[in-house]
Structure 1
Amino acid sequence: MHALHKLLFFHLLTSLGRDALGGKIINGEKAKKDSMLYMVSLQNNKGHVCGGFLISEDFVLTAALCNNHLTHVILGTHDLSRVANGNKRFIEKIYTHPYYVNVGLGKDIMLLKLSEKVQLDNRVQTIQLPTSEMSIRDNVKCQVAGWGKTRSNGTTVDKLQVVDVSTINKHVCKQKWGGLPDHVICAGGYNTNKGFCQACFLFGDSGGPLVCNGKAVGIVSFNKDGFCSYPNFPNIYTDISKYLPWINYVLKQKTC
């Protein structure tokens, strides 16, 4: 990234403050009950904080920006107003990427080790990650889901929402933002009225997966502001495939 573009980009993110965080699914619909069984609600003592997704029986993948006094996760339900005791798992250990500082510098990725393994069944499933580093093509149709707000100045929802988005050319995305951190994917929020938007706090869709061709390829990271009029700035996701060595290293630390 050129020095001037980097300066302008980081100034933009700084001026946006916490409004730069992903927070809402816009112009989506309720997820079907038998779909997206890998979705996880990250919670603290006040309730829902962020989204995440199950990648093994005892690990959840999410965004590093979601590290906000997390205590437990909820699995196996699309409706956060109807949570049974069996849906809850406490968080045993948090692994934030060692070089994460803020979303403007990238590396917005985090793993959560659960206190006990989850029983995989017709309510809870894992989602597959890329098996190697990859570069996703332009205009690939993908999905993003979450429990955030559905419109600007709206209220958060209890029932999981999902929306279709398409990947955006990296050069176009970089030009619109005036620069980008390394290892991100752009999808939705530009030349469309669909995608995720922002919340003033961490409650919402942040940390949820960008799912393309049945695999989780990205993690909801940031966007421009708290308004949901989209045509100017693409949505930004962490590119999971670029962090596979780190993910695999952490998954092997079973006794840490």
Structure 2
Amino acid sequence: MASLQVNGKHRCGGFVISNDFVLTAAHCDVKKTYKMTVVLGTNNIRKADRKRKTHKVVKKCKHPDFKTVLLGNDIMLLKLSGPAKVTPVLLPKRKGFVKANTECLVAGWGYIKTNGTAQDELRKVNVTTDNLKKCQQRWKYSLPAKILCAGGDKTDKGFCQGDSGGPLVCNEIAVGIVSFNFNRDCDYSKRSNVPNVYTDISMFLPWINGILRKGVC
């Protein structure tokens, strides 16, 4: 897990997928005038050894077709200033890797309630993937292509703001990237919500592997 930070404050999650690249959501990007860093190898980001755990972001590889989360392609690679001394997360090797009704895990330092605050300690929760057609019907909006749905619906489990960019991990493989939920509402236990939406990593493998192979974007 990675904490993507702006001016020393947690903004989004992310996860290491190679020696010097972190995968996250494109909507986590900020203006060039802001200092972006990545904190690795810690569960508690407040107590982290900043000198040893913090990496500068030297290149942001945002998907060229990204405009807004509701239009999809919410994916970005961050090239680090030095090697990440942590074990990379495995990615799927083919499209459509994960099926509906699979129990997975999502983790992050995000809010634990609507309009909350980022957490110091990493939190995680189990969520179950949904059938994509049923997810589209539950939303009653036109969802973007290349997504996965999991959690947030008929359950008290799901992600919240600050968890964006973090991984949806199924069978120890990162299959999704936290993208968006309904109306930024995270109080899932209080009412019937709709499924949370993740970027489907398996649909972007050629783009990801091309950047990792070249080391640049």
Q: Give the alignment's TM-score, normalised by structure 1.
A: 0.78
In structure 1, the partner of 2:128 is 166
1:192-241 superposed Cα distances (whole Å, 9 cap, x missing partner): 0101134xxxxx10000000010000000001123323322110000000
Checking the alignment, whether the CA contact within 8 Å between 1:218 and 1:237 is kept in structure 2 is: yes
| 2:205 partner letter | L
Which structure has the higher relative contact order (CA within 8 Å, separation 6+)? 1
In structure 2, the partner of 1:180 is 143
1:110-160 superposed Cα distances (whole Å, 9 cap, x missing partner): 0001111122xxxx2111000111252111000000001112243321000
1:88 equivalent among 54, 68, 82: 54
In structure 2, the partner of 1:22 is none
1:52-97 superposed Cα distances (whole Å, 9 cap, x missing partner): 0000110000000000245210001010111211101111100000
The alignment yields a C-alpha RMSD, in angstroms, of 1.4
2: CA distance, partners of 1:64 / 1:249: 17
In structure 2, the partner of 1:193 is 156
2: CA distance, partners of 1:153 / 1:171: 30
1:243 equivalent among 185, 195, 204: 204
Identity %: 51
Q: Which moves more between the two structures, 241-250 or 230-239?
A: 230-239
Note the residue ranges of structure 1 that are not aligned, 5 or more in a row: 1-38, 199-203
1:137 aligns with 2:99: yes
Give, in angstroms, the shift of residue 162 of structure 1: 0.2
- SS of aligned partner of 1:175: helix
In structure 2, the partner of 1:53 is 15
2:165 equivalent among 207, 214, 226: 207
- SS of aligned partner of 2:23: strand
2: CA distance, partners of 1:99 / 1:226: 23
1:66 aligns with 2:28: yes
Aligned residue-pair number: 209
2: CA distance, partners of 1:211 / 1:238: 12
2:177 equivalent among 219, 230, 238: 219
Once superposed, which parts of structure 1, at least 4 consecutive aligned residues long, lie more than 6 Å away? none
1: CA distance, partners of 2:216 / 2:180: 33
Give, in angstroms, the shift of residue 255 of structure 1: 5.5
2: CA distance, partners of 1:93 / 1:54: 15
1:147 aligns with 2:109: yes
Note the residue ranges of structure 2 that are not aligned, 5 or more in a row: none
Checking the alignment, whether the CA contact within 8 Å between 1:40 and 1:74 is kept in structure 2 is: yes
Give, in angstroms, the shift of residue 253 of structure 1: 2.2
Cα 1:137/1:255, change in 2 over 3 Å: closer
1: CA distance, partners of 2:208 / 2:115: 36
